[in-house]
Amino acid sequence: MSTTTTTTTTTTRPRGGRIEVVDWLRGLAVIFMILAHGMDAWLLPASKSGTVYELIRVASGIPARLFLLLVGVSAAIQFEAGLAKGVSTQVMRGRLCKRGLQVLVLAYLFRLQEWLLSHCYGGFETLFKIDILNAIGACMLVVALVSTPRDGRRQIVPSLVLAGIFLGLGTVVGPAHFPTWLPRPLTSYLGGQRPMAWFSLFPWGAWAMCGVPLGHLWVAANRDPITRKRCFLFTFLAGAALTLTVTVVRLVSPAIIQYSTEVIRQMGPGIFCHRLGLIGMFAGIGFVWCRLWRGRFSVLRQFGRTSLLVYWVHIEFCYGSFVYELRGKLHIPTALLLVALLTLAMLGLSSAKTRYLGPATLWLQTRFRRTRPA
């Protein structure tokens, strides 16, 4: 979801401009998100096996992690722009905190909408479920407090230390049972049991904190064309090495770390490193893609710039009451076809927003702008 706004293109602006691969990666997360939700909603239980489904599972594990990683990357890009302009720590921190609070408000509005559309199914507590939008907003606040540059110095080490804490304690705090006298709508941001705590800071916050040094690295490399190429080549190779290492370790010793449930295993360091490696490889591929398609329309970049809108709308087409008859009824080929159709529909919506909403907003602002005294 495009919950943060990064600035213009990777290949033309040397200092803190919009790095196109960020939009590309966010768009890739949108594609995988539609796939994940569509398959979760429509697939027959009997079809959830086999090689194709395992590939779908891996792809389904990418979007939430990628969205959160890009929170840190986008924040670092904004920090670099602020440092270049001499913006104070307080101003940079205040801007990101404000945006984080806005995302949290949107998260609860979205949850209220879904609750009303489902005829209040699940009880009042459903309104306070910590879903991906809540996690994005919370991560923005944490990044603002920990990773905002101080006295012109980038806070890379504190970001990595906190990432290690989130990840290291993720399998302990993440599924923990908190005392009943503590308010679950608040403790669920730290950890707890589903369905309240889907994306708690332990361990999901580690993704945003890891994104901060990665964003600083990409901006620094963006200042020189040769360095930029080497940086994204390194990103790809490092990602491939990380994923290969985890794969080899699993083949040699599949039960190297024992987890009591699959949910807790998803919070562990093995999954984190494997998915981080895949994202690094995707970043390298995205860099090459953006260079080859420079100046031309890109579906992924288009999705990346309107990801919040697509997230907000597509959920109802996957889980809404008017498609309830499809829940758990389809085989993989039919479900994939519906995912493709839904993706095309969301692309049309995204393009319509880009093409018409901006000019319409500008016209309204011009039409109703008040004349101010000189």
Q: What are the pLDDT digits (tens) for 12-64? A: 333 444 689 999 999 999 999 999 999 999 999 998 888 999 999 999 999 99
Q: Are residues 88 and 217 in the same domain?
A: yes
**Could you tell me the two tokens for 268?**
């562990």
Give the pLDDT confidence score for residue 245 in this predicted structure.
Answer: 94
Residue 303 lies in a domain: yes
Residue 285 in domain = yes
State CA 105 to chain mean position distance.
Answer: 17
- The yes-or-no verdict on residue 303 having pLDDT over 90 is yes
What pLDDT is stored for residue 373 in this prediction? 53
Whether the predicted pLDDT of 338 surpasses 60: yes
Q: Give the pLDDT mean for 142-170.
A: 95
Q: Give the count of beta carbons closer than 10 Å to the beta carbon of residue 201.
A: 27
Residues 281 and 204 in one domain: no
Nearest to 100 by CA among 37, 67, 143: 143
Question: Is there a single domain that holds both residue 229 and residue 219?
Answer: no
* Average pLDDT over all residues of the chain: 88
Is this prediction's pTM over 0.75? yes
pLDDT in tens, 218-275: 999 988 899 999 999 999 999 999 999 999 998 888 777 778 788 888 888 999 999 9
User: Do 109 and 205 sit in the same domain of this protein?
Assistant: yes
Within-domain flag for 9: no
Alpha-carbon distance of 36 to 66, in angstroms, equals 14
Please give the residue range of the domain that contains residue 86: 20-224+299-362
Question: Residue 3 has what pLDDT?
Answer: 43
Lowest-confidence pick of 6-10, 269-273, 288-292, 341-345: 6-10
Q: Is pLDDT above 70 for 114?
A: yes
Let me know whether 32 and 173 are in one domain: yes
Task: Tokens 């302009």: give the residue.
Answer: 85
Question: Do 45 and 90 fall into the same domain?
Answer: yes
**Is 191 in the same domain as 243?**
no
Instruction: Give dist(CA 114, CA 118) in Å, integer.
Output: 6
Is 370 contained in some domain?
Answer: no
Q: Do 124 and 181 belong together in one domain?
A: yes
User: Do 170 and 278 belong to one domain?
Assistant: no
Q: What is the pLDDT at residue 360? A: 67
For the chain, what is the domain count? 2
Select from 294, 309, 339 the last residue of a domain.
Answer: 294
Q: Which residues 6+ apart lie within 8 Å of 43 measured at CB?
A: 53, 328, 330, 331, 332, 335
Minimum mean pLDDT among 17-21, 47-51, 107-111, 125-129: which range? 17-21
Whether 4 has a pLDDT exceeding 80, the answer reads: no
- 104 pLDDT more than 50: yes
